[in-house]
Structure 1
Amino acid sequence: MKVATFNVNGINGRLSVLLRWLEEAAPDVVCLQELKAADERFPARALEEAGYGAVWHGQKNWNGVAILARGREPVLTRRGLPGDPDDRHSRYIEAAVAGILIGCVYAPNGNPAPGPKFDYKLRWLERLIVHAGALIAAGAPVVLAGDFNVIPTEHDVYKPERWAKDALFRPEVRTAFERLVQQGWSDALRMFHGDERIYTFWDYFRNAWQRDAGLRLDHLLLSPDLARRLLAADVDREVRGWPHASDHAPVWVVLPDHVPATMGSDR
């Protein structure tokens, strides 16, 4: 089973890119972020024609997350991150697919920092940590995938010194991400690539793609059961070079096709 995450940066404006990648890569499950589309504008028909069922949580012009499943319908379990009933941002959706719980994440950017947007980011990450801890405690096989808007380490950014004061790389944010991982999650890309410099995002400005001046913002975190069964993990970086591409590239993992029925029963 191939599970992927892709910040599409506007699903309708880049639908041709998404459909091309779906056809070429054939992922079984896809977490999408930054739909920038209200619920009624989500292109469910086009995705259905491409062979994918979908659940989504849209927002006009901003944010928005979705989960796609090839040849089946994801079973929606949650829209929105718990912990703040007044938060109307569409940044989290959760669904069950083929015995695995999939959490799709689009964390706040947080800039400028310090400031209200950065404070909101820290509160949001704290809510994610609490919810993720509950998922780990439940013992189910879980993938948390998406654009976390966190650069975890110096190996995840082309020039760390230039990002020291950015909300993506500030110590408070990196500490929050580390607390999340230490609950028992495994960073799938790092499991396969060690300390290699590997990026998932290249800005549109200053020829970042051409210079390979990238960041690693998109992560797939695996619960312990799935981490032990991880078969592969990588970035489809060539997609960033396609015409009219998103500034993010798809990231994916390969897991066994069948999750054992006993998985998680010892928790």
Structure 2
Amino acid sequence: VVVAGDFNIAPEDRDVYDMAAFEGATHVSQPERDALAHVNAFGMEDTYRRFHDEAGLYSWWDYRNGSFHKGHGMRIDLLLATKSVAERSVSSEVDRNARKGEKPSDHAPVLLTVGPR
């Protein structure tokens, strides 16, 4: 099973370009993160983090102030998978090129490649 989408929750501080800028805001509150942890407790794994451990990797950028070009984003689009799917995962990437179009979404697609059983 894979649960995917715009969760509007940055799972960890490293998933936000500047935690101080989001102090007291949505997307990073403890109740939101606790709710996501509750979902993960059902045996779900953040598949993107299986392949990418570093900070500064985002799937969303505000349209204002050139946030995309400044790297001021958040990772709030997640692909959560059960253990059997996560273990067969081959790669996971954010397609930043999709965000560079003339009238793009403020989100970039997050991709997951899963190998055969």
Q: Decide: shared fold, TM above 0.5.
A: yes
Q: Quick one: which of 223, 231, 236 aligns to 2:82?
A: 223
Aligned amino acid, residue 242 of structure 1: G
Match for residue 48 of structure 2? 189
Alignment: residue pair count: 117
Structure 1: 5+ residue stretches without partners: 1-141, 261-267
Identity %: 33
- Superposed, 1:60-79 pairs within 5 Å as none
When Rg is computed on C-alpha atoms for both structures, the one with the higher figure is: 1
1:198 match: secondary structure: coil
Cα distance change on mapping 1:251 and 1:244 into 2, 3 Å: same
Whether 2:73 is the aligned partner of 1:207: answer no
* Alpha-carbon distance in structure 2 between the residues aligned to 1:196 and 1:215: 10
Structure 2: 5+ residue stretches without partners: none
What is the root-mean-square deviation in Å for CA atoms of aligned residues?
1.1
Give 1 or 2: higher helix fraction: 2
* Alpha-carbon distance in structure 2 between the residues aligned to 1:238 and 1:219: 18
Q: Quick one: which of 31, 34, 38 aligns to 1:175?
A: 34
TM-score w.r.t. length of structure 2: 0.94
Give the superposition deviation at 1:197: 2.1
* Alpha-carbon distance in structure 2 between the residues aligned to 1:174 and 1:197: 18
* Alpha-carbon distance in structure 2 between the residues aligned to 1:166 and 1:151: 11
Aligned amino acid, residue 160 of structure 1: M
Give the superposition deviation at 1:164: 2.1
TM-score w.r.t. length of structure 1: 0.43
